Every structure is written in structure tokens, then in C-alpha cells.
Chain A
Amino acid sequence: MELKELITQKLQENFPDSFISSNVYMGDLSVEVDKKDIVKICTLLKENSELEFILCEDVTAIDWSKRKDRFTVVYHIFSFKHNFRLRIKANVDESDCTIDTVSSVWNTANWEEREVYDMFGISFNNHPDLRRMYMPEDFEHYPLRKDFPLTGIPGSLSLPKK
């Protein structure tokens, strides 16, 4: 069985409620899942002996601005066993802007989730250290949201006195 079909099948069998869809674009597989089972799905992908996605390369997010589920959190994970890269997508709505942390699965997700929190304002439940990554801690806005002006909000960042 081809690996892409194996991944899809495994997720479908184990999480019939949470698995939404999968598609292949330019040879890369993406799976879309519901956010409520994200930790269990990631644990399966990492610890299943046929898959072994042991590296979390990146956690990022997309702001769709006007869409109903405004944000999509995207996980890029890698399996050394198969030399294969997988993309997991989970939708997060603005009204409940939270998703469970996967830093218990991959430690590298810790800082990557902090970055997503800093830039998009998506908070990660049970995260061990959810602080801002780049912006000052008293900054009140989320710069990578589509409604944030490119040149910033005047007065939102402090300068030293002249």
C-alpha cells in the first residue's frame, strides 16, 4: 500500500469523527482534521511504528479574514523513516480561538506555537509557557492578522525618551 493511502486510512479508521478530508497537491499530502482530536491524531502519527513522524518542522497559521472558520492552524511534520513530509490542517474559529497544544507530543512545537500565538492570537490550551515570542509582552495586537495595518498602529509600541 502506498504511504499516502496508509496515512489516510489509518486516520480514517482511528478518528472517523475528526478526519475531514485529504488531498495531494504537487506530490505533498495534506490532511484536514477537526481541532478537538488534534493531540490524539498527532500522537498516533508520531508513535505508530509504521509512520513515525518524529519531527515537527513547523507550526503556523493562516488568516482567511472573512471566512466562517477564520483561522487554519497548519502543522508540517516529517518522517525520517519514509523521508516523507505531511501537512495537517485544523480550522479554528474566531469566536473560540483556541486549540490544544501539541507540545506534549513534539517539544519543538512549544516555541512554534508561541510564535503563532504572538502573530495570530490563537491560544493553545495546556501550553506550558504561552508568552509572546517576538513582540513586547505588553503589545495588544496580533500583527499577522489580515486586519492589522502593515505599518502598524501608531503608539502601540513604545520608544525610549529622546
Chain B
Amino acid sequence: MGLEAHLKSDGFITTTIDAVIAWSRQNSVWPMPMGISCCAIEMMAVADPKYDIARFGSEVMRFTPRQCDLMIVAGTVTYKMSHVVRKIYDQMPDPKWVIAMGACTSTGGIYRTYSVVQGIDQFLPVDVYLAGCPPRPDNLLHALIQIQKKIGKTKARDFQNKPLPELPIIQNN
């Protein structure tokens, strides 16, 4: 079982750099809690001892985008807020992933109105859409596991020499 099994033999294993990097990346996903409305309450519950996101190596909620790998967009994104969300996403270092948590974030949800963006995929590349209004904490854990599986399939060279995004000068609305 696991690495310990190899300790009895010569004490080393052979693997690829890609596998090691993907393995370490997928088990240390640091989330950026983009808690905009009620989904954020369930996101907080994920961090508590009952659901315990620390089991998956993602307990380090960073409140600066510069230290994050995963953005959990939890809540209704209005057009006015969309510029802020994008600005924060642009500040996250590559490689980065996005969970669209809940119905509002994924599709606009019950807010079929003029002020709410009908799905954040209109301005962000979303990796996992999460159903529910709000989704239960275990559902968010499921989304995290899906992200981990996705990261596990990546190769280190996928992210090499990726051009930096041209950051637009956003005027304050």
C-alpha cells in the first residue's frame, strides 16, 4: 500500500517527473474563496471538521489570488462584479482552475434578470460546474475531487512557455 511498501526494498522508486509533479499538484490545491453570496456559507462548512477539506490537501484558503491554484466562485455574479472576479482570476499564477459553484454561478440560476451574468463561463474558463442551490458541502468536495482527477492527467510541459495574459486596464465603474 502506498509509498511505504517500497521502503522494505531498496528505498527508491522509479517514476516520471510528470507523475510526481501532477501528484503533488493535485494534492495541494490551494483555493481562492471567491465567496460572493450564500454558496459561500456552504464553502465555509467544507472547511469545518465535519466535512474537512483538509483531507484533500485544500484547507489552505488563501485570501490573496497570488498564492492560489483554484478559484471557487461561490455565488451570484452580477455584471458589475464580473470585472472584479476576472481581475482576481488574472492575478492567479498559472496553472489555475475554476469551480463554478451553484446554480447562479453556472447558469444565472433563479436570477433571470438584467443585472446577473447568466453563467460565468461567459468571461471565465470553467473546469467544473457544480449543481445545487446551494450545493451541499460534500458536493463541493466531489467537485474538488474532479479537479484533482483533471490535474492528475496534466503533464508538466502543458504549462511551459505559456504566454502571460495581457492584462487590460480596467476602469472603475
Residues on A lying within 8 angstroms of B by beta carbon are 134-138, 143, 148-153, 156-162
**Neighbour of B114 across the interface among A138, A149, A158, A162, CB < 8 A:** A149
Given contacts A158-B79, A159-B82, 7 further A-B contacts (CB under 8 A): A135-B115, A148-B114, A150-B114, A152-B114, A160-B168, A161-B123, A161-B168
With a cutoff of 8 Å between Cβ atoms, the chain B residues found around residue A157 in the complex are 79, 114-115
- Of all chain B residues, the one with the shortest Cβ separation from A156 is B114
**Neighbour of A160 across the interface among B112, B113, B114, B123, CB < 8 A:** B123
With a cutoff of 8 Å between Cβ atoms, the chain A residues found around residue B124 in the complex are 162
8 A Cβ contacts from B104-132 to A = 112-115, 117, 122-125
Asked if B149 is at the interface of the complex by the 8 Å CB criterion, the answer is no
Task: Name 14 A/B residue pairs within 8 A (Cβ), A-sorted.
Answer: A135-B80, A136-B79, A136-B173, A143-B115, A151-B114, A157-B115, A158-B79, A159-B82, A159-B117, A159-B123, A160-B83, A160-B87, A162-B124, A162-B125
A-B contacts counted at CB < 8 A amount to 47
Secondary structure at chain B's binding surface: helix, strand, loop or mixed?
A: loop
Secondary structure at chain A's binding surface: helix, strand, loop or mixed?
A: loop
Give the 9 A-B residue pairs with the shortest CB-CB distance, closest first: A152-B114, A160-B86, A136-B173, A157-B79, A160-B123, A159-B123, A160-B83, A162-B123, A159-B82
Q: How far is the CB of B75 from chain A (nearest CB, A)?
A: 17
- Of all chain A residues, the one with the shortest Cβ separation from B116 is A152
With a cutoff of 8 Å between Cβ atoms, the chain A residues found around residue B112 in the complex are 150-151
